């Protein structure tokens, strides 16, 4: 069973629908027990890092994720806001995050080289792989994925970076360390490439 | 960099697509789910559904369509048409749409934009506007007026002013439809699109008038649109999405090359 963490925000059902389409059983849940017992855990969704962390803490799920999932070596996948909560902190609401990966979520600048940058980034962008990883199995370099984000991860732990994209600046679009993986782009909205990666995660 | 998006638009009345009959052989092309799947497989970057159902009682049919589409299509899709309340927005998003497109409902109640953005995030609130060209004047400095109710009712709102206000209220994208060009196949209203795209700090989607690949090239290169809506030019089989993308790519516009994996996915 795959647990999709319900932290009372964002649209979680699209990830559940994609897993259903792929034939993987999943449950959207905020119950610590269910998350601790799951084989794999996905933290998806759009939203603000501050509100997400507050909700996770209020539900006691920050500890469950750190101790029973990530600490226990279970495959964990963060999507969009799910990549940012893995970092130490975020510019968004000056939030303290889970601190699993060294780094901070920064806001895209409003101008680059005197040209306006539209924030949030909304649309399909190329993702360039930095190294091989089972999560990207079968995905060619420079495949397009769907992004919706105003903030991007800046890692002080560059070894964790898995792929980068370019939106005014180069940023980390996917990361992985041990059994922890995360993408800034929406796997559940990225067509067949996103489905393939979700499927890869479920088979790890 | 971010690619330019091509977005087929489907008008749906009482659960059936109203235009679009000629493209797929021997399939039920009136079925919005079938058409959405077709465009998904053809490499559409997003899909928009406009519910042109006249009565409120039939809105449930559209929600069923949305639910079915959401189980089969794994790219973003937007639903618009007659959305007036926060409840309307919530219902469509819970049914599986990525974004809602609000139009007349936002003109009548601008608070709908801010409430929607607060409740669900700006990224899923598209402010759609129907725009008519007029003589510029003190009341309409840009010479573009917002009209509502399917283009029948002038509002006196200046389109540039409304775009600016909508963005301030929290709209995450602006969809600008020229009613002068809509249905003409003469090309997008480049001047209107350019002026709004220059003023906006959120993505601008051009709509109305697409009839040839050159029209998309112009709206991206000359008017600075981030995305373009296509309807009859693809619905009637005159052009295919892969062909449009090939043309744009050959002319230096970055568009998404869809990826289909080797391993079959269920």
pLDDT digits (tens, 9 = 90+) for B208-262: 999 999 999 999 999 999 999 999 899 888 899 999 999 999 999 999 988 876 5
- A147 to chain B nearest CA, in Å? 9
pLDDT at A49: 86
Q: How many Å apart are CA B84 and CA B108, to the nearest integer? A: 9
Q: Is A11 on the interface with B (CB under 8 A)?
A: yes
Query: Quick one: tokens of B20?
Result: 């679009």
Instruction: Calculate the alpha carbon distances from A199 to A1, A34, B42, B53, B59 in Å.
Output: 14, 21, 22, 38, 34
- Domain CATH number, residue A32: 3.40.50.880
Domain count, chain A: 1
Query: Quick one: tokens of A33?
Result: 């027990």
Cβ contact (<8 Å) for B265 and A196?
A: yes
> Do the Cβ atoms of A138 and A118 come closer than 8 Å?
no
Helices B86-94, B59-72: crossing angle, 10 deg rounding: 40
Residue B26 predicted with pLDDT over 70: no
Q: In which domain, by residue range, is A62 found?
A: 2-203
Residue B150 — very low, low, confident or very high, per pLDDT cuts 50/70/90?
Answer: confident
Q: Is B72 on the interface with A (CB under 8 A)?
A: yes
> Residue A170 catalytic?
no
Q: Is B264 on the interface with A (CB under 8 A)?
A: no
Cβ contact (<8 Å) for B173 and A122?
A: yes
Instruction: Calculate the alpha carbon distances from B78 to A75, A88, A130, B51, B66 in Å.
Output: 32, 34, 33, 11, 9
Question: What are residue A70's phi and psi, to 5 degrees?
Answer: -65, -50
Q: Burial code of B184-195, b = ≥16 C-beta within 10 A, e = fewer?
A: eeebbbbebbbb
pLDDT at B53: 75
Q: Is A120 on the interface with B (CB under 8 A)?
A: yes
Question: What are residue B193's phi and psi, to 5 degrees?
Answer: -60, -45
Task: Name the active-site residue from A26, A80, A97, A202.
Answer: A80
Q: How many Å apart are CA A15 and CA B100, to the nearest integer? A: 19
Burial class (CB in 10 A: 0-12, 13-18, 19+), B106: buried
Q: Is B7 on the interface with A (CB under 8 A)?
A: no
Q: Is the dihedral of CA A55, A60, A63, A65 positive or negative?
A: negative
Which residues, at least 6 apart from A51, have a Cβ–Cβ distance to it below 8 Å?
Answer: A9, A93
Cβ contact (<8 Å) for B2 and A123?
A: yes
CB pairs under 8 A between A and B: 112
Furthest CA-CA distance within chain B: 61
> Do the Cβ atoms of B167 and B188 come closer than 8 Å?
no
> Do the Cβ atoms of B63 and B89 come closer than 8 Å?
no
Task: Name the active-site residue from A26, A92, A186, A202.
Answer: A186
Please, where are the H alpha helices in chain B?
A: 32-42, 59-72, 86-94, 104-108, 111-120, 159-169, 190-199, 213-221, 232-235, 241-250
Q: Which residues of B touch A13 (CB under 8 A)?
A: 70, 94, 96
Average pLDDT across chain A, whole number: 94
Mean pLDDT of A119-146: 96
> Do the Cβ atoms of B45 and B38 come closer than 8 Å?
no
Do you find a cis peptide bond into B112, omega within 30 degrees of 0?
no
Q: Burial code of B24-39, b = ≥16 C-beta within 10 A, e = fewer?
A: eeeeebeebbbbbbbb
pLDDT in tens, B45-91: 999 999 987 556 667 889 999 999 999 999 999 999 989 999 999 99
All structural domains of chain B with their residue ranges: 5-250
DSSP run (H or E) holding A197: helix A191-203
Cβ contact (<8 Å) for A144 and B2?
A: no
Q: Is B76 on the interface with A (CB under 8 A)?
A: yes
Question: What are residue A146's phi and psi, to 5 degrees?
Answer: -90, 125
DSSP run (H or E) holding A100: none
- A86 to chain B nearest CA, in Å? 21
pLDDT at B266: 45
- ipTM tops the 0.90 cut: yes
Residue B156 predicted with pLDDT over 60: yes
Closest residue by Cα to residue A52 from A79, A13, A82, A91: A82
pLDDT in tens, A40-69: 999 998 778 888 999 999 999 999 999 999
CATH of B5-250, one of 3.30.70.260, 3.10.20.740, 3.20.20.70, 1.10.10.10: 3.20.20.70
Give the whole-number percent of chain A exceeding pLDDT 70.
Answer: 99
- A38 to chain B nearest CA, in Å? 23
């Amino acid at each position: 069973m795959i647990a999709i963490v319900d932290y009372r925000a964002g649209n979680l059902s699209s990830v559940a629908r994609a897993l259903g389409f792929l034939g993987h059983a999943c449950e959207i849940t905020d119950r610590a027990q269910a998350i601790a017992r799951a084989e794999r855990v996905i933290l998806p969704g759009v939203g603000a890092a501050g509100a997400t962390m507050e909700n996770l803490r209020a539900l006691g799920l920050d500890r469950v994720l750190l101790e029973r999932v990530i600490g226990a070596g279970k495959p964990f996948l963060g999507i969009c806001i799910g990549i940012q909560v893995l970092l130490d902190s975020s510019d968004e609401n000056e939030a303290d995050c889970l601190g699993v990966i060294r780094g901070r979520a920064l806001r895209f600048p409003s101008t680059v080289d005197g040209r306006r940058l539209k924030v949030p980034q909304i649309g399909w962008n190329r993702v360039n792989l930095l190294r091989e990883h089972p999560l990207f199995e079968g995905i060619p370099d420079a495949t397009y994925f769907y992004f919706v984000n105003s903030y991007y991860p800046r890692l002080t732990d560059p070894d964790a970076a898995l792929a980068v994209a370019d939106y005014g600046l180069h940023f980390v679009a996917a990361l992985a360390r041990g059994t922890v993986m995360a993408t800034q782009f929406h796997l559940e909205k990225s067509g067949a490439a996103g489905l393939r990666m979700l499927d890869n995660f479920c088979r790890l | 960099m971010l690619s330019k998006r091509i977005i087929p638009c489907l008008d749906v009345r009482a659960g059936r697509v109203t235009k679009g009959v000629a493209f797929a052989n021997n399939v039920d092309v009136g079925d919005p789910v079938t058409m959405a799947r077709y465009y998904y497989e053809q490499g559409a970057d997003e899909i928009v559904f406009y519910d042109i159902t006249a009565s409120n009682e039939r809105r449930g049919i559209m929600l069923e369509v949305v639910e079915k589409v959401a189980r089969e299509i794994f790219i973003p899709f937007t639903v618009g048409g007659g959305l007036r309340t926060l409840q309307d927005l919530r219902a469509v998003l819970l049914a599986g749409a990525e974004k809602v497109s609000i139009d007349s409902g936002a003109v009548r109640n601008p608070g709908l934009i801010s409430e929607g953005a607060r409740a669900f995030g700006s990224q899923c609130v598209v402010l759609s506007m129907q725009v008519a060209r007029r003589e510029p004047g003190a009341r309409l400095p840009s010479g573009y007026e917002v009209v509502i109710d399917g283009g029948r009712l002038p509002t006196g709102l200046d389109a540039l002013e409304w775009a600016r206000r909508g963005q301030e209220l929290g709209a995450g994208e602006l969809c600008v439809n020229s009613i002068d060009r809509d249905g003409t196949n003469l090309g997008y209203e480049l001047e209107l699109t350019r002026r709004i795209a220059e003023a906006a700090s959120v993505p601008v989607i051009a709509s109305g008038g697409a009839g040839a690949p050159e029209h998309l090239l112009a709206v991206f290169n000359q008017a600075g649109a981030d995305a373009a809506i296509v309807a009859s030019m693809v619905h009637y089989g005159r052009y295919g999405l892969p062909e449009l993308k090939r043309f744009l790519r050959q002319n230096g516009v970055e568009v998404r090359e869809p990826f289909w994996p080797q391993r079959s996915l269920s």
